[in-house]
Amino acid sequence: MIHPSAIIHETAKVDSSVTVGPWTYVGAEVEIGAGTIIGPHVCIEGPTTLGQNNHIHPYASIGGDPQDKKYEGGKTRLEIGDGNSIREFVTINRGTEQGGYVTRIGNHNLLMSYAHIAHDCIVGDHTIFANNATLAGHVIVRDYAILSGFCAVHQFVIVGEHSFVAHAGMVGQDVLPYVLVSGDPAEPFGINSLGIKRRGFTEEQIATIKAAYKIVFRQGLKIVEVIEKLKEMVKTHPEIALMLHALENPSTRGIAR
């Protein structure tokens, strides 16, 4: 299952069911789980852990040193879960000493060509990064978020669950769960109605999320006032809990309103 031209470091741990294409390099302290397919001309450096049933397409560069001047060569790592599709020319860097030592990617994510995930980022499950979507360091992208082509996310920003960043959006502050943002700088333009409908949210739940959106963005309230209103809503509408948590736990960048 390993092409003769591939180079596998003696300390790498590669499951016997893994396929490795020609001219691929698997470096020291790399672990690759069962059922994973590594295409040709891929570079995987360690310490990096890849789970099961991932597919790494040609020319991807996985687990390279962080692009951060503060990095001093420490033993930082990259952790990738199961069932991810990592397309051509994607780059994912390991963590830094200052950022917690780890970059982490969850399960069942689609990273399209030329997407970039920088050091110390945390990406959840079932996300989509379209072509050239880019994360700076220390970004958190939560489950089911979608980043459209050519968008970019500033350091330390949190992109919430089920949110949608439109084409070429420049995200400089937190994107709340369910919210659609667009522009430079990215601003909210309603909720990701189509996305959450596709994920099985009912019409009633979508209406409730729209009502919460209006409280956050349309009534001119202070954040503390918004939080109090959502605390009442969440008692009968648990889907609002994601928005409430994001408002109560923003990043240092603040919330895009």
Q: Which of 137, 149, 169, 195 is catalytic?
A: 137
Q: Is 119 part of the annotated catalytic residue set?
A: yes
| The one-letter amino acid at 29 | E
Q: Under 8 Å CB-to-CB from 47, ≥6 apart: which residues?
A: 29, 30, 63, 75, 76, 77, 78, 94
The burial of 232, by beta-carbon neighbours within 10 Å (0-12 exposed, 13-18 middle, 19 or more buried), is given as exposed
Q: Which of 116, 119, 138, 154 is catalytic?
A: 119
Query: b/e string for 26-36 if b means 16 or more Cβ within 10 A?
Result: bbebbbbbebb
Q: Is 137 part of the annotated catalytic residue set?
A: yes
Q: Is 125 part of the annotated catalytic residue set?
A: no
Q: Tell me the two tokens of residue 234.
A: 């969440």
Q: Which of 27, 116, 120, 143 is catalytic?
A: 120
Q: Please count the other Cβ atoms lying within 10 Å of the Cβ belonging to residue 229.
A: 17
SS3 251: coil
Catalytically active residues are 119-120, 137
